[in-house]
Structure 1
């Protein structure tokens, strides 16, 4: 693929439903050969996700209900593990499409992180500013519940969604086109994605809805175990109950989390193909728009 014309020759225009359905069919057709060829890597990544699942529950018991002890170094290391594992999985899936190596795709994705971080920082600063005006500028700051102030980021999250969603196209285009320079072409790719915002939203929303439904059923044992762990933490920390989890709970959680990690690998391939077919369609529409 030496230029955009050669790249776009094999592209196919699809509707948002076709992007998702074709991604599913391609995933179903390629996942087994891909797994047989890379079973050692996939097994390692699944075990990593199993370890991450156990470590997360160990560090944050009852986080959804009663809070958790703050372990900054451990949480930072956990976040690095989560990020590295996800980038490795998605890089391998992109490598199956663009023919580049795992390292090349991993490096490519790493270069997009500062852009994502920039959007997140702007969002956090905007949230802090709004919280400041809610609390400090209110007629009676003491009467404003803390929960209401902390709900500001949730209320502002649609703004983050609106302005960050075009990055899905910009980043996919950057990964799929080797000659493209991120910061030289970011604004152009972002503008293109913003003009196709509705198509990007419906495609990703439908794809993620399928993922949520699939994972809800397939990964149900993992959700049951983590919920049981949280309720046990409530009893121990809030009511001074004796720990009631069996001795084999954490090994069982590790095994179930590892299985969920295998499912996540399959799901990531589906998500990457959905992005790829979405990217194809937008590129064709842009080409037709210029004609």
Structure 2
């Protein structure tokens, strides 16, 4: 599946030569590959900066940083100019806005040197790789679409943790104050228990106090770890299916030839016309009785 194109189909007045050239460049495969490689090299450079390095290497890294900025600025300019007389259409795409903000933020006055804000902005460039991968775009779109469902899940999880935290405080506060001394400590203990790594230790402590504490931990594991986490997975999977269908619908609505009919409908119409032509040829062949008998053609007129 090819990556999503950012260059538009310019309608209305004929675009200028510069706009046509920029649209051709923005639509080209080599342009996308170049930007992906530059983003990848930039990510490697960010990793290199985390290691101790001599001053000469620091100068080289600063020069490369400015080279990366120049390449990204040229990229954004080409993609904006590709929209011809309507450059504002560039900002209709969410990923286009993200690319513009990430590139422009590096030039905000006051962001220079090795400030934490500038480092965050530079690291955000790596996220731009998502735009070039349809699979990653689908995953990100699914995560965004799952936020309402995840919000409901978090509310239910918080209520569950609070109730079990209070019960744990009532049962274990005096015996194990480090784990259940307050409601906050109880909730933290139960939150860590979601990984099940501390389950044997906690069950052993509970059994030393009373065998009935096993009911507390078993019910907690069944409700939170199994039921709630499975609900979360179901919400994310459902959102991913919706995002995949939405992306497929948007891709089917592309009209690259500018005839006002989506390209997938054009292909369906062409296929139907070809089927009609085959049917007409078959009927014409039958009417004219075009065939071969013993290798000799016969025809009735």
State whether TM-score is above 0.5. Answer: no
Larger C-alpha radius of gyration, 1 or 2? 2
Greater relative contact order structure (CA < 8 Å, 6+ sep): 1
TM-score (norm 1): 0.28
Which protein has the bigger helix share? 1
TM-score w.r.t. length of structure 2: 0.27
